[in-house]
Amino acid sequence: MLLDPLFRRIVRQGELTITDAAGQTYRYGAPEPGRAPVHLRFHDKKVPLDLVRRPALGMAEAYMDGRIDVEGDDILAFIDLYRANARWETATDDGLAIGEHPWITRLGRANNRRKSRKNVAHHYDLSDRLYDLFLDRDKQYSCAYFTPENNDRDLDRAQLEKKAHIAAKLALKPGQKVLDIGCGWGGMALYLNRVADVDVLGITLSEEQLKVARRRAEEAGVADRVKFELIDYRTLDGRFDRIVSVGMFEHVGVPDFRAYFRKVRDLLTEDGVALIHTIGRVGPPSFTDGFTAKYIFPGGYIPALSETVAASEREHLMLSDLEVLRLHYGLTIEPWYARTGAAKDQIVALYDERFYRMWRFYLAGAITAFRHADMVNFQLQYVRDRHALPITRDYIAEAEKALLAKG
């Protein structure tokens, strides 16, 4: 089989069996405690060639089209086995062992206003019902925060603790004006208003998210203080005491990093504070894989810390605090993946079997990227004035405890 040398080189721990379209069986690896054997079946003789040409995209499309099956309908089992054998911590190459061609996916990184709107709609204007099926009750579509006290890893609690953690870093005071860039379905903005008595403007490029966020503000009776608008951050004017942006920086694009931070600085008051929560890379700048760029987040790019801070420091913003969440997003996506599998019939009814398989592949790949590859989450706190915050970090834990007491 064409893929035989690749799998013999990569798969050393864990058992992988592949049955090709001709019925020939190949076995790789060795038993690993705690990991069940994985069995792939190829139903099309062209699958090996597709995987050699574009491994990430070829594997995804073959699985989406039903040309590859995993016994037990658990694509996560295969991707996790594969990536566990090429962990970032022990990798000896440049991370391209699965054969992606970076020059292809480095094209089109710039996101002008028209392109940004289109890219956002591709992912975030999907049916609200889809997101209801796998997210927490507050529809937080970003990395949760799992404290040691959350022994059962309850997703709703972890998302609440994420909001409290971010709110504590913002050092909010009653009556302040807060900007939420990329506000999603409004959960963060509504939370900040409720626990800190602040006025919030949430901006988004998703028409579907905007409808939900506005409805939630009306239902909560706070539409006069928590407002949501369909606005590109680049066109916004005014000054805000605090700026929060969760899961939006990944959609900015490298060519616009400096413009993004320039705008954040311009929108902040002199003693303002900004908190940027983003997926990031622990290694050097890289590229977006072909599957993600084509099917999931067109125009998306996961930044390295080096290029993020290089852009912000050139715009005269002071990085006042940095936290790296190493494991939290993998723990967040695990229940998303499980809930997606449990809701297969509903998702197929909303879209089709191919979409369901695409979504499962996306979530499985994301879990393993945070378990084994170079993905983490960064929380970057910025100020314009070094005196804007207390001199030590003690205020964060104190505020977080008080916020969580409010529920």
Say if residue 312 is in the same domain as residue 383.
yes
Letter for the amino acid at 208?
E
Name the residue among 289, 281, 282 with its Cα closest to residue 361: 289
pLDDT in the model for residue 299: 86
Cα separation of 237 and 191, whole Å? Answer: 24
Q: What is the residue whose two structure tokens read 């054969």? A: 99
In a domain, 106, yes or no: no
Cα separation of 120 and 111, whole Å? Answer: 11
Say if residue 72 is in the same domain as residue 125.
no
382: β partners? 274, 319
In a domain, 200, yes or no: yes
126-168 tens-digit pLDDT = 788 999 999 999 999 999 999 999 999 999 999 999 999 999 9
Cα separation of 170 and 165, whole Å? Answer: 9
Domain containing 345: what range?
113-405
Say if residue 375 is in the same domain as residue 320.
yes
Q: Tell me how far CA of residue 263 lies from CA of 141, 149, 234, 302, 316, in angstroms.
A: 24, 38, 7, 20, 11
Q: Which 3 state secondary structure label does DSSP give 26?
A: strand
Name the residue among 253, 250, 271 with its Cα closest to residue 378: 250
Say if residue 263 is in the same domain as residue 393.
yes
Name the residue among 192, 200, 187 with its Cα closest to residue 156: 187
Whether the CB-CB separation of 158 and 332 falls below 8 Å is answered with: yes
Domain boundary among 78, 100, 122: 100
41: β partners? 19, 69
Q: Which 3 state secondary structure label does DSSP give 179?
A: strand
378: β partners? 278, 324
In a domain, 8, yes or no: yes
pLDDT in the model for residue 219: 98
Q: Residue 244: is it exposed, middle or buried by C-beta count within 10 angstroms (0-12/13-18/19+)?
A: buried
Cα separation of 30 and 16, whole Å? Answer: 8
- Total domains present in the chain: 2
Cα separation of 368 and 366, whole Å? Answer: 5
Residue 361 half-sphere exposure, CB side, CA atoms within 13 Å? 24
In a domain, 105, yes or no: no
Whether the CB-CB separation of 123 and 324 falls below 8 Å is answered with: no
Say if residue 27 is in the same domain as residue 131.
no
- Domain with 345 in it: what CATH number? 3.40.50.150
In a domain, 37, yes or no: yes
Domain boundary among 75, 100, 125: 100
Say if residue 16 is in the same domain as residue 148.
no
Q: Which 3 state secondary structure label does DSSP give 178?
A: strand
Give the residues of the chain that fall short of pLDDT 70.
92-125
Name the residue among 227, 242, 309, 259 with its Cα closest to residue 113: 259
Say if residue 264 is in the same domain as residue 134.
yes
In a domain, 108, yes or no: no
Say if residue 78 is in the same domain as residue 220.
no
Whether the CB-CB separation of 143 and 279 falls below 8 Å is answered with: yes
In a domain, 107, yes or no: no
Q: What is the residue whose two structure tokens read 């890893």? A: 153
Q: Measure CA of the first residue to CA of the last residue in the chain; give whole Å.
A: 57
pLDDT in the model for residue 123: 65
Say if residue 150 is in the same domain as residue 280.
yes
Say if residue 126 is in the same domain as residue 78.
no
pLDDT in the model for residue 90: 86
Domain boundary among 36, 67, 100: 100
Q: Residue 152: is it exposed, middle or buried by C-beta count within 10 angstroms (0-12/13-18/19+)?
A: exposed
Say if residue 346 is in the same domain as residue 266.
yes
Whether the CB-CB separation of 378 and 307 falls below 8 Å is answered with: no
Say if residue 68 is in the same domain as residue 136.
no
Name the residue among 83, 92, 98, 97 with its Cα closest to residue 35: 83
